[in-house]
A and B are shown apart, each in its own frame.
Chain A
């Protein structure tokens, strides 16, 4: 190994943090920790149901559309806007797609294109008002929330409109069973294996490139341990998802979500476009004076959100096998909550795709687990509301004093008490 020169030998406690990844993703690490705690707690409370194959599949099937919305929403929020219309847009696109299939008799793949096209049009409409007229996104999308909800009910005449079986099988179905009987869904296992290979290859290639260019690399043992941890998680997930009921696999909707999440994580982290979104949200005027076309950034994030909302809408009508007048109710709030639990800032400029997905999963697992242990639906919003509040509060406290610690908080309280005694 010729690159040993680059490699620091020996172990330091600080190296452990490198396991988390390159950048100071301490925040995401924190939320991930919270997710793990919640999962473990429910796993115990439900006596093993939470991490059962069927339940994991259920969670992915019932949340992938919200998670996709969260991916778009985090970009909107980073750019300093908000989108309240996503649920209504999803419902609007859903009803048109259903009608195209059911009443007009168009083949399902054509209707998917219609749905995406409609998402683009709606997005361009909302983006136009936000970016080029300067109406605050809150207002534009509040209007959109009302308009597209109404349009859904006008177009669908508030009926339930069924969709084609092929459409359902594609977007709400599962991978087929192929190959010999192994006790697992073979394609899911294959996907898991491919994911492990991809992760290893990417990591090693990146490392080789850094070494070639003379950049610092973390010690090899860190890389290997990190890869091993990731591989373990992927393999465990693949085995679990592959062993659900006969005919199930990692859901198609989940595959679509993973692809979307990877693509957007890449865009936000590694592209000029992503940088521009952060720049506009962080300091709009400074970004403009650095040559960023802020209006087009606004237009892009708003339009993109509506396209993703159309995807979510189509996933939903596939899962429900019909569109309906109440589709998408409250989705915007779920997506926004996921983004803020994931560490985004209300003022814009801060947030990550990964964080938002973890935030969305926190909410998803919470809902699922509370259902499973029979907590009433009246209490669930109360608990979710508190979780949102506490997550953001910890974030705020963090910012005020460097790093959050309960010990620090208590010491501060003690000091204050002492000073009051003196004065």
Chain B
């Protein structure tokens, strides 16, 4: 039909063709501008190293503000001292510091939201309440805070401080905060001492009793070998008084057995483990009840029954000692209880958020009877240790419970207020490494007291340029630190550097005869590039002793040196031409050179000096490149690539990011394609006559349309570990099931599996639908004839479905690969900066994909933007994607079709 239309149109059709160009023009133009041109410039940047973090690049409209903030003119590599600084700029350090102070204060203001209304209200809510140690906030302080809150300005507080630095609202707040004992910390301390008690018991410093060998460990066989144990069983079997029977029953009940004797027999027979803490508990209590222990034994009813039960067996004491010394620590360690106690004591686990877990741990310790827990009484916020060391299990548990509960519920106003105070304290004490390392905001504010820098600072979270400009005007530095002046300083510095470089080159270009002063010149060298160096003991000498022979060009150098060299140097020219440095050294030694000379050192020293000087002449460094250059930017040409491939840390980081991306993709893609293949096969299986398929399909596809960021944030939230006293869904469940939480984000593989799962979960529906479409498009008659030929469903699937599905699989593979290599949204929003993984000896983030790395180095925080390297990594990504796509196309190509096409082509050729 189309062909007919074309003929039909005739010359008229021709005149329409120009519309074809017009219609596709917008597409082409936009594509060229917004996709192709950026792609080409990315390629260009990968080799050209744009100076990318200049104020220009980042589009600052107030470049002088950028320089004020990021450039430090007091850097001694710019101006060696204040004198030089003042000579150049016309201001003193002190005056200049006013500018730096501003940014210090601004950064602190950004970091601590001191004017946050909730925070201020929290402080006001403390009121004049005692913080537990007798310190209260004075009415004056509260008034000041009220004023701060009303005025939405920190000034009243600062003014109060300035008025009397010794005693003011701020010091009052700090005092209150300082002596406030945070219940969480207090409880933690208590636990720490409890832990050290436990530790002392578990790891006794010295073994006291020694009827048993120290290294012996009791196990099933030693137990059987001990005739005494049978004696205990026999004793239990004998006639017992009612009291004794009560104790035996009590012990049995506590360890969860019906009959103590039967239990002991089962231990002897090896049916129950010696390592079971219950066994220890039973032995210990039997021991104490028998009166041979230092501890008294109080039964469940609280009656002291010490000495009532008289199995006065030395054996049981001995066994007790055994267990105490040997088995017991193993038992504890095996229970992990001891370790988890340590975690609480070290503050790795919170006693508040891990409340359930800690109670369970105590339960275990208590049940085993291994530790004498201290008991505490709680009255208000006072926690005191009880004098008695005896305890009952329930009592200990209850006490701990109330200890934790009461603190959690203890005056929330005080806790909230203390935390809010932390912000104010943090703000005033913030140490910023700008002007020097030790100055706090308070000091900075003091510096500029006269005009109160805080009046101009923005407390909304970011720099307010207009306010800053007002400040700059008020301190009278607008003219001095204007853009024009910065540029002038930069130009002057550049000129100075250039002149200095010229001077260096001039001094290095000297007549060797002249340089040979003092007769100390001992060596010459000529490398393969024909650069000749003439050296005076580099290690002892300063720079002016080094002499480079030559001119500005290589030819000049050679012309210059040749006569000299022929006359003095070496008779055997072979040594020089094409010689290695070692050979030259040998030659030189032969001429009476000194052994101390290290040709490599001399070579690099001189070369560095020369190159540096030349660079300074061509492209002198000024003051402004301080903010936009690091040595990375000096690289040119393919140096980005060279650096990525040769610098081992960078190489590992870059290729680690590639490996991470590929790993994450594969981990998600394999289950994704497998499940999609299975499901698509089922969904298209007519025999099964499934109903409600479209609903199922719709549900399974749902995750794919939801914003990936939302999904990532959701998973981050439900899998996160305790943060700020809150538990996530997964931790709530885990704790219910296993008694303790699990941090998915500190284990690199756990977090990788999480990301892989999200990808799988979001994409299998998509793949499934594509494959269903692929299978449905296969001619039904193929399946029918296969069935008639007696093929089973597996054969039909592998021989018909899969081969015919190849184009769809190819499409799925390639599109998933391209998408997978650009993985960004999910790992980025899982925000995992705590899990590292080792890649070739370098620690890399376990979830940092290529694009995350590119984004970080090109657009991340800080003012060191590696646009060149980022572009180079992008180019590598581009190349890798292309190569992999081609490989997949090649591997999955239809071999028969390709053959047929080739044959056709050949046939056509033959005909011609």
B partners with A: no
